[in-house]
Chains A and B, each alone.
Chain A
Amino acid sequence: MRPADLHLKSNCFAVAPVPRDHAGEWSGIVTDVLSGNRRYLAIWFPFLPADRLRRNPPKSSASALEGVPFAFVEKVKGALRLTGVDARAQSFGMVPGLTLADARARVPQLLAFDADDHADRDWLKRLAQSCLRYTPMVAFDDPDGLILDITGCAHLLGGEEKLTADVSRRLAMIGMTTRTAVAGTSAASRALARYSQTDGDERAAIRRLPVTALDLEAEISLALIRAGLKTIGDMAIRPMAALAARFGGETVERLRHLLGEVERPIVPIHPPAPVMAQRRFAEPIARTEYTLTVLGELAAEVGLRMEQEHVGGRHFVATFFRSDGLSRTLSIETGRPVRDADAVIRLFRERIDGLSDPIDPGFGFDLIRLEVPVIEQLPAAQLKLEGEATIEVQAAALIDRLSTRLGRDRVFKLAPCDTHIPEQAQLALPAVEACSPVAAWPVTDTGEPPARPIHLFDPPQPIEVIAEVPDGPPRRFRWRGTWHEMRRFEGPERIASEWWKRRDGVIGKTGLTRDYYRIEDERGRRFWVFRHGLFGEKPDPKWYLQGLFA
């Protein structure tokens, strides 16, 4: 018996180095044994965006999604049109392509969200990852389906039906609506999942499919129907040459694929890694520490194999399969090949510590897999760091060191903010986080004195003032018990409040305006004071000292 078969039985697809073929084409062990009699499972998510959104609802409308029909919209030629709907909206007759205005005219309570192809794609990717538990051959069926090559895998779960049921069950646990079908070609499984109305014999079911299942251009589909060819069966009994002459070679090609006369391989999302180890658990495990221990064991396992081959890994991928069907992938990359389990685990620990959203085990993991997709010969000598770092790199390094030593909340960098309100015009950010500023620092014209003082009090300090009404500067003011006589002044600089931050509407309630003055006292000291409120706004406005000029 050939080794591949053995591995299939243990459901461990690969041991050490199998020559990698070019990406996109499966030429691994499985094909060698079982080609010619393949089985495909197609999974269709009819409400992919809706199910995704329901699982991760936007904060603002988390509760609003309950029991409300919703749809996704996209601007097409100036009109917002539906691109996807949820089941409830569909039951109300909402279909993609309808304009939002039309849809709302019919179902006013319809919620609309922006279509997010990237999020959909990411979600589909995660779903695809989670299906890797069944077979390494998982392919996208864009935009809202997956196709699994389950050739030779089904018996592990007790046959195709059980496997299909397990897939549906797990996906249902995370809220995915699915339709599935198994057939001998990828096209047939896909068409059956999406178009078949009946169960039963696979061959007959395929022949009963409507011609639209060929996914042809609308014009060709319609022409086929007009010609009276309404099902795949109608087409199959007519000469292919006559069909090709009228409806194009592509039509016939697809028909033959659907009928199983030709085969097109699927393109798996990633080919199996050259080195891999995994562990299944009868009881799902949930504790992070234990998870890491298992990962360590797997690392030791692959390390051992790599040592035999004199290679090291540059890229390690750990996949944690949750019992509810989801999976989470972590990967680390190294500058040089590594096979030391401790080093690998150290990197994984750092990676896990640095995660913004920790790995949620849910009800526990029932499968953990460690793959090493990139391997290289492990050289004997160590690499040297060469070349000189730039100033920025050095500064960044300094900031890293200082922040690590003093604490990240103690090293700041000021960032400008685009607002007229002085105390909000800059922001102290932890220096390690600071990125490029959004706004520019205000520029003072040459020859002009600085418009803002070097020191700002936060909060501003109340002062007692003797001043002219309505908008004269303070003649005298008392700050911290001392009276200051005004000798020279400039102002007012009038800064109105940011009315949009007020909680009580707009009209007549825009908040207090400040009048700022630069004041020089008898000893030449310069202050920045303001009156909080105009006399029209408030009967007796208060004065504050907000800053000191150098």
Chain B
Amino acid sequence: MTGFAELVAATNYSFLRGASHPSDMVARAIELGMTGIGIADRNTVAGVVRAYVALRDAREKLTGQELPPFDFRLVVGARLVFVDGTPDIIAYPETRLGWGRLTRLLTKGNLRAVKGDCILKFEDLLEYLDDISFIVLPATSGEAQQAHRKPVDYPSDIPALRLVSSSDENSLSGTLRRLRSKAPGRVWLGTSIGLVGNDARQLARLKRLADLVDVPLLATNDALYAEPAQRPLHDVLSCIRLGSTIADAGRALEANAERHLKSPAEMARLFRTCPEAIAETQKFLARIHFTLDDLRYEYPHEPVPRGRKPLAYLFHLVKQAAQERYGAVLPPKVRKSLAEEFRLIRKRNYAYYFLTVYDLVRFARDQKPPILCQGRGSAANSIVCFLLGVTSVDPLEHNLLFSRFVSEDRNEPPDIDVDFEHERREEVMQYVYGRYGRHRAGIAATVIHYRQRSTIREVGKALGFSEDVTDRLSGTIWGSWDGKDVPEERLTEAGFDPSNPRMMQLKELADQLLTFPRHLSQHVGGFVLTEDRLDETVPIHHAAMKDRSFIEWDKDDIDALELMKVDVLALGMLTCIRKSFDLMRDHGLGDQTLELDLEAADTAVYDMLCKGDSVGVFQVESRAQINMLPRLRPRSLYDLTIQVAIVRPGPIEGDMVHPYLRRRNKEEAVHFPSPAIEHGRPDELHEVLGKTLGVPLFQEQVMRLAIVAAQFSNSEANQLRRAMATFKNLGTIDTFRDKMVEGMVARGYARDFAERCFKQIEGFGSYGFPESHALSFARLVYVSAWLKCHHPAVFTCALLNSQPMGFYAPAQLVRDAREHGVEVRGIDINASEYDNRLERRKDDQLALRLGFRQIDGFRKEWAKQLVAARGAGFFHVEQLAQRAGLPSRALRLLADSDACGSIGLKRRDALWEARRTPQGILPLFAHAEAAELGEEARIELPTMAFSEEVVTDYQVTRLSLKGHPMQFLRSTFEREGVLSCVEASKATEGKIQRVAGVVLVRQRPGKGNALFITLEDETGITNVLLWARDFERYRREVMAARLMEVEGEIQRSKEGVTHLIARRVFDRSELLSRLTDGHPLRLPPSPADGAKNPSDPRHGHPRNVRILPRSRDFH
């Protein structure tokens, strides 16, 4: 029997058509004993790398088990689906050149269409058909596609919008004839036996046709999934695609489950009247020489000046920088490191890559004003990166190993990620497109997967569940639950019976659909650059965002193919730091750069941090970090590195935090776990865990542990690392559990330690910090803490001007600044600008003047007009209206925000004046109109109560310099015996107390065993901890309260941090409405922590509308 290979196999990257993962298709094909498989998705090659990786891993596994490799070929290509009625054609490149043609063809189609669609006509194929073999299928599966209105950088030919019905020209025989004449010997006619009744006649007809046009017939099953059991899932996918329900879809669904991968024997039986069609699959396979391994590509040459060799030029740059830093004679250590790095760079030919990154960084720094940037991630292990100015930490000082960045055993390209100021990153991105051209630069894709919510919603809809049921199942409860399937408790929790048959169907299908790719989106900033045309390596798509284009492979694919990418990322703190430096320069406080105090040795800064005084400071400002600071007491940059890395899911879930703290505080001896004596040196972990007192905290320490303690081979460790990176999606990590834990136990390690290490790996999943990355971040922690410590006014001003960013809302930032002795001045029409700014006080201190940007809805151009027209100042509202030409809305906002103080108008009087100024008068008539406004009898308005002033401040600017709403309720609470926050912090430990305050943050971190709630009042804040088991009882109060009263036990850690362990929770929000005559008061929401901030209720009575703004919640 000759072999058989399925050459028309779709995967779930044929979105909503294929019902199996590429890896499953490959695995099943191997299992069935095929000689190969051809992966061809609809107008895309997005899934082929996954198939390639699956095959590679399968081979690696065999090598690991010392089994002989099997003979199996993976060929990759695409199913071309045309809009002009041409039958579908499967295209497999025979060579690298053919691959380039195919990807260019797909790019052409993609760029004509809007995101996700692809417009191809048969004529397009004729331009690109060399070096490609084709299988023509009997019919088209085309659908109407949407044309892009402005295809980027592409000659505008007329896009075909609608499907053209098949004419003779496009009919099967016509297509075969034309294609055969252009590509002789490379065309096959694919036929399948789908058990539709007339298969025998169909086969005979195609055979006649094949003979007539002289192309061989090729047997295929046009597979959509790996196994017949996947038919229900495929039906559901079809329903999702068609937007119908399973009951209504009818004949739009496949009649049977035949489109799975069939064994060679079964195929031979089906094609018993035509065995040559089976044999043709082998002939076809033999023609294809291309594999994805051939995609070696060259890095752009641009950054090297004419006449210089890249390596020499790189060496020149680095040497110059080294001599500047270390002196003309380089220390031996530096020389040694440089020699080692250059050896690898030369060997691997990475010079261009380093120079490209250098080029980006240089571009950013050469801007006027410069854009701050700093490398993150493992690049900080490289002294070359440091000397090129890409990263800011000297790896020699911290004994960072280059091999963690690029290593000889790990056959992986370097990955340099650079952060830029978030407000100006787009400039860098457009520079990249501009410098390399859109055909050579593309952003990586991000594959958006089905998540629990979307899965349940869509499967539910397809199965005909009503929306309220699916919403109830998917949307109600906190966040999504991680993992591979939909837990039954979730169904029970939502009030459904998991044993109900319809629920079972929903659950089973949703479980299967979870982790399917849903669509492609663009990565946040990972660029792939090439010397040659990028579209000859991978197809390019339009991004939904204007002026962006992206390639259809994601980060993992790029890694797997060893392509290099540069991550151009955005970081808000860099914007803030740059603005701080600008302010310092403007106010004569010196000209600083990110290199300020490279030693990071200012004790004042550490003193401040040790007190937990870190609001606004990069990375260490969250509640958890603030609680950790006094316990860890950082005194050096490396301590900050640990501080940044330790409050993360990895170390927390691995239960490594407390051991580390105990050891650091000398309450526990530093002890290194060691293997049994017969298995190795007892100090084998010293080197791995030395810096962290024997406790693994960083990502790479755990990886080293796997190698050293569990004796993983390098390739296994690599697989583990890969599994870690993709853990969330694929769940392959479990397979490593036994190996690691048992491996360590077998060598005499304590099981408990081994399991904690593995837990940590799981926790690292996607949130682990490698040491070098944490170090880079620690630099920014130091810089921002330094600014906060020495220039609090500058720092707060810059933070406010960089919003939205960070963890706290302006109200908290301003409050913190005032607590640090900064005078904060209110918004005023005669003093403020759009941005917040600094004013020199009489005593030469700096005061912070709030800017118009703090007013909700106040436009930047209004502020510009106002400042330009200010001159010697305004004296009354009419003048403001006329001179600045402000619309009445702007005037009203200014009056509402009490910004007319300098012209002697209180808020209410200013508003009375402002509202009188008519709307929308032409400037020409403004003067004439103004005269008429003159006379009006004085109307007495009631004086605004102080509480109302504060409340209005919050309503308009989300913060008040005058007071806090809680102070007006203090007497009420005092009568009830409720403590203020400051009283609570002094209360006796163990006592049951009640505290009330405005809710700032609700968080449910990690595994969700506890909820952390932060309450604020006029005296300070209180940290509340509510155990999850009590949460259900107080769910409504916890979720709805804007003013919350909590009864609980006072607990104090030995560092003096007070917590209130909640026993009862009360919603006291109604008190707030008393303050305001029942109209809404908005307290500032805190912006970060993944909060979903539902906007204000749309309608309803002001008295029903909420008083305080959202706090920052979790969902």
Contacts and interface: CB of A to CB of B under 8 A. Distances in A.
Interface string B187-226: 0000000011110110000000000000000000000000
B951 to A, nearest CB: 10
B1094 A99 contact: yes
Interface stretch (B696-704, B805-813, B990-998, B1097-1105): B1097-1105
Interface residues of B, number: 79
Interface stretch (B469-477, B585-593, B835-843): B469-477
Nearest to B511: A507
A60 B466 CA distance: 11
B1097 A222 contact: no
B547 interface: no
Interface in A109-163: 109, 111-114
Contacts of B1077: 210, 225, 230
Interface class of chain A by DSSP: mixed
B137 to A, nearest CB: 17
Given A104-B475, A112-B468, A516 B1079 contact: no
Interface string A54-95: 000000100000000000010010011100000000001101
B1101 A212 contact: yes
Nearest to B1070: A93
A490 B494 CA distance: 51
B890 to A, nearest CB: 14
Nearest to B474: A101
B1067 interface: yes
Contacts of A212: 1101-1103
Nearest to A503: B501
B896 interface: yes
A11 interface: no
Given A246-B912, A418-B250, A505-B508, A97 B1105 contact: yes
B495 A222 contact: no
A226 B895 CA distance: 10
A155 B916 CA distance: 48
A242 B939 contact: yes
Contact of A105 (B195, B942, B1035): B1035
B54 interface: no
Interface stretch (B251-259, B605-613, B672-680): B251-259
A101 B255 contact: no
Nearest to B1080: A222
For B229, B472, B915, the residue with the greatest tally of chain A CB atoms inside 10 Å of its CB is B915
A212 B1078 CA distance: 11
B198 A448 contact: yes
A26 interface: no
A66 B717 CA distance: 58
Q: What bracket does the count of chain A residues touching chain B fall in? A: 35 or more
For B200, B505, B942, the residue with the greatest tally of chain A CB atoms inside 10 Å of its CB is B505
A360 interface: no
Nearest to A61: B468
Contacts of A417: 250
B471 A100 contact: yes
B93 to A, nearest CB: 35
Contacts of A234: 942
Interface stretch (A276-284, A340-348, A475-483, A494-502): A494-502
A98 interface: yes
A98 B1036 contact: no
A210 B1102 CA distance: 11
Nearest to B501: A503
Interface in B228-256: 229, 231-232, 235, 246-253, 255-256
A102 interface: yes
B1094 A102 contact: yes
Given A238-B939, A499-B232, A500-B463, A420 B255 contact: yes
For A76, A93, A508, the residue with the greatest tally of chain B CB atoms inside 10 Å of its CB is A93
A245 interface: yes
B1100 A96 contact: yes
Nearest to A74: B1098
Contacts of A437: none
Interface in A239-261: 239, 242, 245-247
Interface in A415-434: 417-420
Interface in B559-613: none
A97 B1100 contact: yes
B775 interface: no
A108 interface: yes
Contact of B908 (A228, A239, A245): A228
A73 B1092 CA distance: 19
A107 B1040 CA distance: 9
Contact of B468 (A111, A221, A518): A111
A501 B789 CA distance: 69
Contact of A505 (B505, B1036, B1103): B505
A442 B251 contact: yes
B374 to A, nearest CB: 36
A439 interface: yes
A107 B1039 CA distance: 9
B256 A495 contact: yes
Nearest to A500: B246
A516 B196 CA distance: 9
B1093 to A, nearest CB: 10
B961 interface: no
B941 interface: yes
B911 interface: yes
Contacts of B1036: 92-93, 106-107
Interface in A459-480: 471
B907 interface: yes
B197 A493 contact: yes
B975 to A, nearest CB: 25
A24 interface: no
A105 B1097 contact: no
Contact of A97 (B201, B246, B478, B1098): B1098
A96 B911 contact: no
Contacts of B1079: 221-222, 225
B24 to A, nearest CB: 15
Contact of A496 (B248, B255, B493, B1035): B255
B892 interface: yes
Contacts of B1040: 93, 106
Contact of A228 (B475, B915, B944): B944
B258 A439 contact: no
Nearest to A502: B501
A494 B195 contact: yes
Contacts of A113: 468
Contacts of B229: 507-508, 510
Nearest to A194: B1101
A492 interface: yes
Interface string A21-50: 000000000000000000000000000000
A451 B250 contact: no
B947 to A, nearest CB: 13
Interface string B491-519: 00111000001001100110000000000
A250 B764 CA distance: 62
Interface string A332-369: 00000000000000000000000000000000000000
Given A230-B1077, A513-B256, A106 B1035 contact: yes
For B908, B942, B1100, the residue with the greatest tally of chain A CB atoms inside 10 Å of its CB is B1100
8 contacts: A97-B1100, A101-B1094, A218-B1102, A223-B892, A420-B250, A494-B196, A500-B505, A505-B505
Given A98-B1097, A104-B472, 10 more contacts: A105-B477, A105-B478, A113-B468, A212-B1103, A242-B936, A418-B252, A448-B198, A496-B257, A515-B195, A516-B197
Interface of B: 195-198, 200-201, 229, 231-232, 235, 246-253, 255-258, 463, 466-468, 471-472, 475-478, 493-495, 501, 504-505, 508-509, 892, 896, 907-908, 911-912, 915-916, 936-937, 939, 941-944, 952, 1035-1036, 1039-1040, 1067, 1069, 1077-1079, 1092, 1094, 1096-1106, 1115
Closest A-B pairs by Cβ, 7 of them: A97-B1097, A418-B250, A493-B197, A104-B476, A494-B195, A246-B915, A228-B942
